[in-house]
Chain A
């Protein structure tokens, strides 16, 4: 039942049918670029003191959420950890509202009361944004439980890092999901480091895609730096879940270029290691090359996308600084839902 195949676009030789339609790849390129530029801008605003507290950037990992999101339908749910800005943008949440939450303003998705790690959009099926490592895995299993309970055909995608994958509640949740056959895709974003601890020093398992094997949950290792490979694997996972066969596990081998959070000097890895990943495996460069080589995309065509993305991010940054701080009356709202 369990498979351990690493899928990668490298196996695609020249002359074969492209594994993705041109428009889909263009959209993936744009979505990944939006996340990249957004995160760079967030890092910059952080440096200027406009964003406080914790700020975990997604730079490097963009292909994961963009590739998976391409397989989701309206009504499906997404939940993730605190490295969540990319997931919000991928689900279609407005860059303005996300950035304004980062600056703690009333125009933010949580009116400035949640911050970087706590944003939600029921409309877009995004259920956070959770700050406790591993907690979102049980919650995401609950989203899938709700789909099972309602028999609405929707599936839930639960993202977590390889660091969280060692949490006890992850295994409790996988058991529950397998037991009740819940439509849940567990996506482990293995970016190799749980804060400063490499996966080799934290996990006795070398193949995290098999972490659900005890409960018969099928798993795949996927090249998470390749949006096409991610999408292919996510298609298989989504089809499995939609067929009411139960949960599915994807281990995305990915990499974060920045530190764990803004205040992480990242001394646990060499500069050369980071540079090598950026130069040889960058998801945006890979997609760009594919667009140019196989789909005859022109520089002018791609520049329109680049400029469009830059404008969205600049607009979000401006909005995030112009939106006022929440009024003091907001201190006492939303503690409880008011009842008669």
Chain B
């Protein structure tokens, strides 16, 4: 279980996250929705260690993550697909996937997981020798997800996976997210595309300028008047 308690994150004098608490239980898909600048990515970066929180605690199965050096966090079973994919453009698809397994030592299991990633994303198998920078946006998103899965995470953080993709590709990506979850990986999803996110989420939190204002099941939030008005286009 991932548990965030009274988390505060600042950029210099500006407090971007003003004390939020939420949790993600094992096996769930939880989504964090909110407008641009609400603090979604900041929250994700704090969880994966790219930003040091000013206060509060982040625990994964009881281990305090804020006390760990950032590069140790993936080894605890938490992987992040960052906003904008951030694949290593000048390395091949295969090399990107190998980097995903960087923190692991179990060679045979890595081979098996690589095969699983190629089953999930056949497109990556076709393009395994290609430089990641030459892939299309959708393929890069798949690569970023495959790369994160190569760490064999128990919880996967996805930051805006639908950004910049065609509606057809968005459907494919969300379908795969559900598939990954069905195979036993917990998901924390950040999305501006609130309809899609609420549709697959067990539970959801609404983040507004650094505060969590609403939390409920995905289904109920989909019908919530406030959410409808603000995020679902009325």
Q: Is B truly associated with A?
A: no
B-binding residues in A (CB < 8 A): none
A-binding residues in B (CB < 8 A): none
